[in-house]
Amino acid sequence: MMDETGEEEEEAWLQLRPVEPLPSQCCGSGCSPCVFDLYHRELARWEAARASKDRSLLSGEESQCYQTGLMSRYVESWSAGDTAFWRGPFGDFFYKPNQYGELLMLASGTGLAPMVPVLQSITDNAEDETFVTLVGCFKTFEGIYLKTFLQEQARFWNVRTFFVLSQENSPEQLPWSYREKTRFGRLAQDLIEELVGSCRRKPFALVCGSAEFTKDMARYLLCAGLGEDSCFLF
C-alpha cells in the first residue's frame, strides 16, 4: 500500500498534470498546431517528468511553434493598452438542422476541429434528426483527440464514430470499446465505399485534413458515387 508520503507526492503530481481543453476552446478552423496538439505535447512532458520523478523537466522552454505565424508575430508586438479590432470567424459551410439525411465526416488529425461544432449542434438539438457517421484518422490510439467527447457523442442514437490508425496494427492493444470501430492503415477507397454503403440515408460528406488527405478523400468519394454537390472540403 502507498504510505502517506507517497500519497502526498502522487497528489502533487496530479495537480501539475495539464488540463485537457474543452471542445469549446477549439476555434474550429483546423489550425495546426491546434490547442489539442499543444495539450498532448505538455501531457507527454508531464508524463516523462512524473516517470523519472524529475520536476525540472516541466520547466523546459515554452513551445515556439507559432513563432513564424503572421498573427503570432503581430500579437507579440503588442504593448499594454494597445487596442485590436477583430472580425469573423469566417467560413463557407453553413449548417441548418435536418438539412441533410446523414453527414459523413472524414477528419484527419486536427481536421477534427470543424466537425466538433457541427456534431455538437446536432446532438444538442432534440429536433435535429440528422444521422452522423464520423471517421477520425490518427497515427496512434493515444493521439486521438477528444476521446471523452467523442465517446459521449457516440451514445446518441443518430451518431456513429470510427477511427483509422496509421501507425498501429493490433486491436488487442486497444480498449474493448474501440476494437470494433477501429481500422488500421490508411483511409482508402475500399473503406470509403464501405462507409458510404453503410450510411442509413444518402450522405453529405464533410472533409478536413491535410491538402493530400482532402484531395484523396474527394477522389474516393467521387468513385463511391458522391458527386461534388454532395461534398464539402474545408
Predicted model pTM: 0.65
Q: Which residues are annotated as a binding site for FAD?
A: 71-72
Q: Where are the alpha helices (DSSP H) in 90-210?
A: 115-124, 147-153, 176-179, 189-198
How does pLDDT run across 86-125, given as a tens digit for each residue? 776 667 888 999 999 999 999 999 889 899 999 999 999 9
- Which regions of the chain does DSSP assign to beta strands (E)? 102-108, 131-138, 159-165, 182-184, 203-208, 231-233
Residue 139 DSSP code? S
**Whole-number pLDDT of residue 225:** 93
Which residues does residue 183 pair with via DSSP β-bridges, in sequence order?
A: 164
- Give the confidence band of 66 by pLDDT, cuts at 50, 70, 90: very low
Q: Which residues are annotated as a binding site?
A: 71-72
What does the block give as the cell for 63?
513551445
Residues 6+ apart with CB under 8 A from 205: 103, 104, 105, 106, 217, 221, 226, 230, 231, 232
Q: By mean pLDDT, which of 20-24, 65-69, 96-100, 165-169 is the weakest? A: 65-69
- Give the confidence band of 82 by pLDDT, cuts at 50, 70, 90: confident
Domains delineated in the chain: 102-233 (3.40.50.80)
